[in-house]
Amino acid sequence: MGLGRMGLPMARRVAAAGHEVTGFDSSRDASRRAASARLSTVESLEALAGCEVVCSSLPGGDDVEEVYCSTGGLLDVLEAGAVAADLSTVSVEGSRRVAAEARRRSIGFLDAPVSGTSIHAEAGSLTVMVGGPQGALATARSVLEAFASRVERVGDNGSGLLLKLISNRLLTSYLGAIAEAVVSMERTGIDVAQGIELLRAGAAPRQLDYKAEPMAARDFSPMFTVDLMRKDLRLAAESLPTARLAGVARQILEDTSDAGLGSEDLGALITAVENYMDAPP
């Protein structure tokens, strides 16, 4: 359901894995591209009656709610016991509304947003973060694994989307920091190509590996302390162009040190982050 940049390669992977695949897209151009890729397509949602598993890859939350919950939508069409896996990145609350309506009709519903691009979809190497009933995932797993190298249930409905949104916020923050590093190299006359290679060889790219689990365990055994990094960021502020994300990071370190954790590992900054983040929904 949805045969665009992501949906079409995923559907092709599912067909190649031996499943009988029927595709639907409201765009005639998308349907023609699917047909040229030798996928069977239909012209109405009603033609999907009897499908055991439906995967949807749609642009936005309004599209998801309309396709599933409107009169004549997928929840009207699918039979009890069918499973729907929505691969879109949409509103958590909107997805939970669809899940509740699906549950009322004895249809399994999974929020199953994917991490990766169309290149990963073509290669079958997406990551799928799943929220919803375990039984529904068991039914849909072989379909999802046709286009993903990792399919894992995070929790109840909405959990998959929450983790996907956390992932995208982390990614964007990281990309912003990379952008600040590149601009800083340009404006201080450093050879950017050489600088990127040396940064890549250093510790920065592996921080999720190094720090995330100790942070979660609140294990601040010193390897590189908060106060040492405070010193380094002070020196950076003296010598480099002003950088917004770096300024925020420096303030987080200052708050951590002010709380008496300056001699602890750099991961102790999570304590300051806890203080200013809103409570989870």
The Cα–Cα gap between 175 and 88 comes to 22
Task: State residue 281's pLDDT score.
Answer: 56
Give pLDDT tens digits for 212-254. 899 989 999 998 899 988 988 888 888 788 888 889 999 999 9
Exposure string of 119-135, with b = 16+ CB inside 10 Å and e = fewer, is ebbbebebbbbbbbbee
Task: State residue 280's pLDDT score.
Answer: 59
Task: State residue 192's pLDDT score.
Answer: 92
Catalytic residue among 153, 164, 211, 250: 164
- The H or E element containing residue 154 is strand 148-155
Can you spell out the DSSP letters for 135-162? HHHHHHHHHHTTTEEEEEEEESTTHHHH
For 64, which DSSP code?
A: H
The Cα–Cα gap between 230 and 113 comes to 38
Task: State residue 243's pLDDT score.
Answer: 87
Q: What is the set of domains in the chain, with CATH numbers? A: 7-162 (3.40.50.720), 164-276 (1.10.1040.10)
Tell me if 4 sits within 8 A of 31, measured CB to CB: no
For 258, which DSSP code?
A: I
Task: Identify which of 219, 200, 196 has the alpha carbon closest to the alpha carbon of residue 265.
Answer: 219
How many CA within 13 A on the CB side of residue 201? 6
Task: State residue 239's pLDDT score.
Answer: 79
Task: State residue 279's pLDDT score.
Answer: 55
Please identify every stretch of the chain with a pLDDT value under 70, giving residue numbers as ranges: 278-281
Residue 164: active-site member = yes
